[in-house]
Structure 1
């Protein structure tokens, strides 16, 4: 019996774009600094060839002529039916069993390190159907600038382990990743019922310890209110990744979404892209929470007064559209005492966010130093009084 080849084969239609160097034949990579394709071996550069604009890529997508919104209801119905469409494709991804990241890899790479948590991963995940990206925000800062920004951030941390800063100074490579996001547009009309509170003051006379005193007390006069507020939401941004810590990813904002480019595989040359693990429906549920919070602010503003009470809001939502976009980040992961700490750099602005460990002995030394200082001050005070 012939033994089967254990090496996973690339999925049909998931062959990545290739950009061979015209000088040495090596794979060229997209350089954020020059906005050109650059060969990492011989240094040759080249503009994006026309073939790159029509080549297949890890997403199986041809670049769109413009950033087009997709109809939300139609997309959800299509995905539920699992039908083939010009807006979806099959991709082969690598699934990290530690953090759950789903990352697109070239078919000739079958084992590597997860850029999100530094765990080893093997490309054994079969193809799955995904919505294609419509837009991409290209890398603007390179790895050297990202590492310098991370170093400045680490230097500003109090009580960080020395090994953490040594890790950054060692110049270990950072991973350039295109993180998946959804943006949603929607038109809303919200009828509300509540009350407006207007403040007024009364003067009261009270007896305290046998003495009469006057006090000014604040009161609220409530008036029923009903009304309607309308708002058009444009590009409500929702992270479509479960591997990036949401609270840190959200702090990377703002993103200059006005600089989004129609998706083109040339931008992915030399980088990796994470496939979305939060689907379009789940992402819309998060977008609705963001919209609802804004609508409540609009209602309070419409009610007016010094205080507002909201009893009910009924919202009608229409013209819902969405885009699947890729935003650039630099990632680094550091293991400390069995736990993984991740650092994220916005590859457009250099904003750094991340998890950080605490050095127990540094904290203990700081507490001890504080106690010694307090004791010394107390001794000096006692001596001066004596």
Structure 2
């Protein structure tokens, strides 16, 4: 093996000048094409659409040894938000901006982030107008949200289209377990209730030691590789249509931002193992059978682990309203919306008054009926 280090990956610039006027193309959500907003010129993307050959996985063990091929690595210019920790990829001409995740002002630095290159992504399907409608419809269903926030959101600034980083893991697992199978049976007992003797059935469990093996192949265990958004938001945006993944091409990022991963590969696999272990435990309980199960020990062998770094699309809105920041996330494939729920004090007060009035009216009618009036 040569001691000569591989050449350093070059910085990737996601800029695509229009062939007609020189302005920047942007990716057209749902259109699988690039479009120039200045002159209307359109260009195709050769790699568009699901790749029939599948997305090639990378070897997990090789990545931990830092032995991935040089072409699987890249360097991008990023800035780290001091408020939420997001690492957002930026263009070379951007020096000051606002964090799309929490609306805090940030000043860019000159640092670069050397990371594993994305293998695949899900392109945006919803454009900004569709995402904004989904968000305002969701806000409109929150009766206790302040009207001012709803109006501000409808007329607010542009939403941010962001590709959020994820890991997916494949692994072949074989597990040996020890436990107990419980069989429910009933005993008849005589008890005294209200001065009367009665016979009742009391459930008992008879336990028997068992052991066995289960096996499962895990495909595309999905793990969020970002800490910028609350996990409860991103988890609730699932499921993602991972069967529609396309091979990574920078054209899909034209006009959008991409966040660099802040959860490294080893941390991501630890989270994936938690998910796998929960499913393996469920398999073990099914294999034990019976009416009840106890698991004493599970020893799992994990083999042939592979992974992908992928990007999934979301529309973000971060609004500062009356001194507070409210964040909303829209799944850019399905339109599902999650966000921080604001409350309107006067709406809650009105609801309490109405509720008390209704309860009082019902109580009055009941009293009239009982009094014979």
TM-score by length of 2: 0.92
Give unmatched runs, 5+ long, in structure 2. 1-7
Cα deviation, residue 382, structure 1: 3.1
Q: Which runs of 5+ in 1 are unaligned?
A: 1-10, 53-62
Task: Tell me the secondary structure at the aligned position of residue 86 of structure 1.
Answer: helix
Cα deviations across residues 306-336 of structure 1 (Å, max 9, x unaligned)?
1111111111111111100001111111224
Q: How does 1:112-261 map to 2 (within 5 A)?
A: 112-170=97-155, 172-261=157-246
State the SS of the aligned residue for 1:322.
Answer: strand
Q: Partner of 1:380 in structure 2?
A: 365
Aligned to 1:334: 319
Contact 1:94/1:124 (8 A) holds in 2: yes
Rounded Cα–Cα distance in structure 1 between residues aligned with 2:93 and 2:284: 55
SS, match of residue 65 in structure 2 = helix
* Cα 1:84/1:235, change in 2 over 3 Å: closer
Equivalent in the alignment of 2:276 = 291
- Distance (Å, rounded) in 2 between the aligned partners of 1:37 and 1:21: 9
**How do 1:318-357 and structure 2 match up within 5 A?**
318-357=303-342
Q: Which range is displaced more, 176-185 or 204-213?
A: 204-213
Distance in 2 between residues matched to 1:312 and 1:133, nearest whole Å:
37
What is the aligned partner in structure 1 of residue 38 from structure 2?
Answer: 41
**Structure 1 match to 2:94:** 109
Partners of 1:111 and 1:84 in 2: CA distance: 34
What are the Cα deviations for residues 8-48 of structure 1, in whole angstroms up to 9, with x where unaligned? xxx98224133212232110100013211111122221223
Which structure 2 residues correspond to residues 85-100 of structure 1 after superposition, within 5 A?
85-100=70-85
Cα deviations across residues 146-205 of structure 1 (Å, max 9, x unaligned)? 111112211111311112211222153211100000000111111111111111222221
**1:30 corresponds to:** 27
Change (3 A) 1:20 1:360: same
**Would you say how many aligned residue pairs link Structure 1 and Structure 2?**
361
**Contact 1:198–1:306 (8 Å) recurs in 2:** yes
The alpha-carbon deviation at position 68 of structure 1 amounts to: 1.6
- The equivalent of 2:291 in structure 1 is 306
TM-score by length of 1: 0.89
